[in-house]
A and B are shown apart, each in its own frame.
Chain A
Amino acid sequence: MTAYVISVLCMAGIYAILAMSYDLVFGFAGMFSIAHGAFFGIGAYGGALSMLGMGMPFLPALLIGGALAAVVAVLVAIPAGRLEGDYLVVGSLSFAVICYDLMINLTEVTRGPMGLPGIPSPSIFGVAFDTPLMLLLLILCILLIVAVVSARVAFSPYGRILRALKDDPLAVEASGRSVIRHKVEVLVLGAFLAGVAGTVYAAYVNFIDPESFVLRTSFVILVAAVLGGVGTLWGPCLGALFLWVVPEALRFAGIPSTMRGPLNEIVYGCLLLAVVFLRPQGLVGPRRLKSQPTP
């Protein structure tokens, strides 16, 4: 029972890292990208392959996973930094699908749908994190570091520029800051953190396959961020916890296991609809989203 509760919390922790890093991109800089799950996957494959193929220890693998996601983010963000609104949605959508296709089809590297088994559990300086409790501890530590980094970025003068990117890009340009440069920077930072989360995930479950990094993954991250309240950093963490704990209640409601997956997703969708209609600023969001006149 305890092991079970811990495993739910571990996944919630990993998704909290994802949701928080996504909040930087979406909540602060206002870039509605649906490719965060893809960066998560790139990080997972990068970290896992460096551990399996090169025998890297966990910490360097963590950095490699993050760095690989960041490098890919640089490559796509420089052309995509010009995109906004609907164009960004389409661009990130097709980027996510292309990443998934590559994970499935580049069988020489990723073993395709068979996935990568036998990823070693994390171990740092000889300390093996192989019990559920130790893993949870590790995940929480990493979450804490990510939270500190994100907060330092978000609640600094630099963070104000990021907010301005969303609220008034023209004013950013007028005050001599490059909109595209800041967009690329925040996208790369978000991708790096998502890549770190990917490596943590790979080391936690010991097995990855492309099915963990589908469009749904981006969707769950998005729901976690919106549910908690974008632009607050801790709201998305809370949202991630909520998303992992609430559907688990279904497990105890006597619902057959085959129906649980679809029902989980229906719960996610309904939660999102409820947020949209009842509380657009999310659970902890302080301010109401500004209403705009319809075109």
Chain B
Amino acid sequence: MDLLLQLLVQGLASGALYAILGLSFGLIFNTTRLFHFAHGAVMPLGAYAIYLAVAQLALPLPLAIVLAMAIAAAAGMACELFLYRPLRRRGAPPLLWFLASFAVLVVAQNVLLLIFGGISLTLRSGAAASLLFLGLRVSELVIWKIIAGASATLAVAALLYRTRVGKELRAIVSNPEMAHVAGIDLERSYLIAYAVGSALTVPAGAIALFDQGVSPDLGEMPLLIATVAVFAGGIGSFMGGALGGLVLGLVAALSIYWTNSSFQMTLALAVMTAFLLLRPSGLLGIKMRRA
């Protein structure tokens, strides 16, 4: 029973982290309907920015995080401005977007590899402090993950449901043509989606800096997790990405109850992919749109 509770808390924490990833990828994917592989390079970029700011420039962590968010947002917007927008204007088929995005991911990862090397860098000094939570002794990271996940979810929800920008984004998801006719500037909204979505990777990157460390391929697994979370949560629903991520984290943690820990991610991905096959519209999918 104690073990189950422990796993539940762990799952909640990693689920909160995956929810951030799902939200960030979902903002971009649902709005632009473009498979933004290069997103997997934005997360390590932000994490390296925090690392440099803290370790080299001796900036306080919160300031470093804000700085990194700006850098990540700029990187995401650069992808839209210099890559996807020209391709979209030429009327290139989606396949070419995939390829271009994939290419940028590989190039960016290897540039980071050349600059920082393959060894993971970390800001952690010694073991993470542990404290009592719901009567369980858990690491400090667990609390941070839950706080980050909850605040990211609330922030995105506020953006979507309390601001004009959010309303426009939701309009684009439900019907891009109508949104355009109604006078919404699609390209401007796309740019905003890239900026916000990319900036959202930074909290996840910051947690990684204190957890397993940051290396150039840091974004690969999170990218996969994020896509599975978004698809399982339901395409067309921004919050579905958060829910999908949470469920994925819980499934992964609880699977340790039955199998050993090296299989947990494999099992979780298999479960979520199988779910996707059975119910392509996902947990919250409003309707299925043809890809």
Q: Name A's B-contacting residues (CB within 8 A).
A: 32, 79-80, 82-87, 89-91, 93-95, 97-98, 101-102, 104-105, 215-216, 219, 222, 226, 259, 262-263, 265-266, 268-270, 272-273, 275-277, 280, 289-295
Taking A266-B107, A272-B99 as contacts, is the C-beta distance between A294 and B91 under 8 angstroms? yes
- For chain B residues 161-202, which have a beta carbon within 8 Å of chain A? 176
- Stretch from B47-55, B134-142, B146-154, B266-274 that touches the partner: B266-274
CA distance A291 to B88 in the complex (A): 10
CA distance A140 to B277 in the complex (A): 39
Taking A262-B113, A289-B96 as contacts, is the C-beta distance between A91 and B104 under 8 angstroms? no
Cβ-closest chain B residue relative to A280: B96
Cβ-closest chain A residue relative to B105: A269
B266 & A291 in contact (Cβ 8 Å cutoff): no
Taking A276-B96, A293-B91 as contacts, is the C-beta distance between A259 and B114 under 8 angstroms? yes
A85 & B273 in contact (Cβ 8 Å cutoff): no
In the assembled complex, which residues on chain A have CB atoms less than 8 Å from the CB atom of B273? Answer: 90-91, 94-95, 98
CA distance A277 to B88 in the complex (A): 11
Which of A87, A105, A266, A295 makes the CB contact (< 8 A) with B231?
A: A87
**Chain B: number of interface residues, binned into ranges:** 35 or more
Which of A89, A263, A270 makes the CB contact (< 8 A) with B103?
A: A270
Q: How far is the CB of A60 from chain B (nearest CB, A)?
A: 30
Cβ-closest chain A residue relative to B176: A295
Q: How far is the CB of A288 from chain B (nearest CB, A)?
A: 10
Q: How far is the CB of B96 from chain A (nearest CB, A)?
A: 5
B228 & A90 in contact (Cβ 8 Å cutoff): yes
- The list of the 6 closest CB pairs from A to B, nearest first, reads A85-B291, A269-B107, A262-B110, A272-B103, A101-B266, A291-B91
Taking A85-B290, A262-B113, A289-B96 as contacts, is the C-beta distance between A273 and B228 under 8 angstroms? no
Which of B86, B277, B290 makes the CB contact (< 8 A) with A91?
A: B277
Q: Name B's A-contacting residues (CB within 8 A).
A: 33, 35, 86-88, 90-96, 98-100, 102-107, 109-111, 113-114, 176, 220-221, 224, 227-228, 231, 235, 262-263, 265-266, 269-270, 272-274, 276-277, 280, 290-291
B276 & A91 in contact (Cβ 8 Å cutoff): yes
B95 & A32 in contact (Cβ 8 Å cutoff): yes
Which of A97, A98, A276, A292 makes the CB contact (< 8 A) with B99?
A: A276
Q: How far is the CB of B260 from chain A (nearest CB, A)?
A: 9
CA distance A32 to B228 in the complex (A): 17
The contact sample of 9 A-B pairs, CB cut-off 8 A, is A32-B95, A86-B235, A94-B224, A98-B266, A105-B263, A269-B106, A272-B100, A273-B107, A276-B87
Cβ-closest chain A residue relative to B112: A262
CA distance A35 to B208 in the complex (A): 28
CA distance A91 to B263 in the complex (A): 18
B93 & A84 in contact (Cβ 8 Å cutoff): no
Taking A83-B277, A105-B266 as contacts, is the C-beta distance between A93 and B103 under 8 angstroms? no
A266 & B91 in contact (Cβ 8 Å cutoff): no
CA distance A80 to B274 in the complex (A): 9
